[in-house]
A and B are shown apart, each in its own frame.
Chain A
């Protein structure tokens, strides 16, 4: 059993598991932090961004004026932002049989894997994962295509040149694998390969293994996966949460008794408790609005935003924000808000019961109804006519490199009354803000990451007790910035097996058993005999028939009657000679009784010699030896076949035959 690690990002994993002749890809995360090296894509012409000086090396030898721009003291690539894909050289992607998706954040690289690689397999995901994942992909494609950039910067990626570049660009890794965003067509093609599954539904893969998604409690339709054969069980835990937010709670008990547990997607903010962050979010929001400023919340169009809106729904009254407009701007805002309301069966119990009242499960329906929350596909169109300040704007993309948020950064960045509140944990907020410096706007960082923290995960592991744990290497040591916090790492016995990008791990577990089926008629013919209480044994002669990783014992076909017409017999045609198997013997020969029997048969002169393993009987008159040992009996008798046969039969009398 092998694990190929194609992504080094602990929360955006992409691993391939080879298990019992199947090749299973676990998640398809796309590392988008690479976009931070690019200039923002402004929706509206920005004089500032269009007049940036190009970059020339100090000695003037390298001139990349067209590709790199100097902005706020840092160098950015002026091109359509590119993403860092999962490793594609480590193994042949066309050999992948299935891809299991655990949540909509972990499938963004799907088109890169399923398209143009020869992939012919199936992708398994839950319905909300597919639908919301589609929305997120659509949104990114839309963001990119709205601001087309003809030029694609490639020169800077030259190794020799990259070495000479300043700042973070110099240290960027695998820049050659970075790719532009896919097209909508590719998205559609990739998603057409998705087959929907429900929680605890068992899907057979080639008869070899069974995979089944379990609720992971992190987002709508998010799942952990169980991959098991009859005798082995691998659990894949990715992006799970034990907090009570909107999704169905996590199914922990089904993870018990795993041989291997692959653990990814823990919280990226182990020291930031989501409740505290939510409180921080609300108070900063209220503070800004009271002072007459605007609040900008860069966020994804699905996920935490539902919880934020729910929290604000309760907070609006207490903070007297009743008249402040809330805007949600995204090409998929409408679909996202509506989708959230229709996936009732994927929601937590509380929200599910609301549906029967009937009430919308999320209170943002009421916010929309009362006109407190308004949503628009873009800043163009209706929004510009209804825009009222001070207000709160939720919009993407959290990287601040593309999407409507770029416009608001340009618009509000200069006033210290305004506040930008970061709630998504995926990007470093300082890096995200880098091209907008100097910034007068207040910045608040309250990342809300509901995924498991180290305390929760160690409790979980104590409970489910996997034999081996595999995890990203980042989880096996304290975070770099807090090296003394030994509580912020996994401490397990035996220690977890760490992986990094491009690792290939041999999972330490050996397959020992295989299940074999037996046909009824064959089973019928068996004659079991009890060899000790409760244990019966029977011999079976059969043909093993293996197909689709299923092994079946069938009756031995009877030799067809020899065709009389053919006179010439060819050896090849001869059916295998079926020999009736000799019975198997069991039991031990009791010495005293055996001697007595010998005597009955006229063998009186017997010398018994004790050995380490049993006895040697010396039949002196016959010049014969009988060695009685624990696991065998030998009769040494030269040139006296009748005697040997007699003796053999005497021995057999004492043994059981199967």
Chain B
């Protein structure tokens, strides 16, 4: 419990740091209003880091729990977010409305907050290295979620996207029966799923950024 509390505190601190990052540009004389492009770059980078971490964690877990057979071929693998309809290709991602895409990103992140916390609490038997990664991932997902919300607000305030998704986010997020399915998965499946979703989030963020600001290094 002590470690959990410490982790919680650390997570809070990290969230604060992210908030500060989102508002203030490091290394500059003072805080200034960041452009949407800057914010996008940060959340994209952040999601990239999460993906890298999850990849590393997945590799560790595979090592720690050798697959009984071809893990990939396990037909039973089913992520708790599989039910969500997400674009599975570039063209779909480009067709979907911006608001919807934004909402999708937030939904994905939201869907992983609780299971990740749950995973951390119930997998104390994992190697320290993996456990710390898992905790880090959990915190970072919180931060990323906050960051994406920030970007969304900004875009909404600047009229880049409509305000229509506020209600959507909360209503649909509750609709997911997250907890049960996540519990049913093996550890490696769980991380595998998360890794995939983190990659989704990153890809969607990139697509979204380039759709909103096509002139900005896209």
Mutual binders A and B: no
B residues near A, CB below 8 A?
none
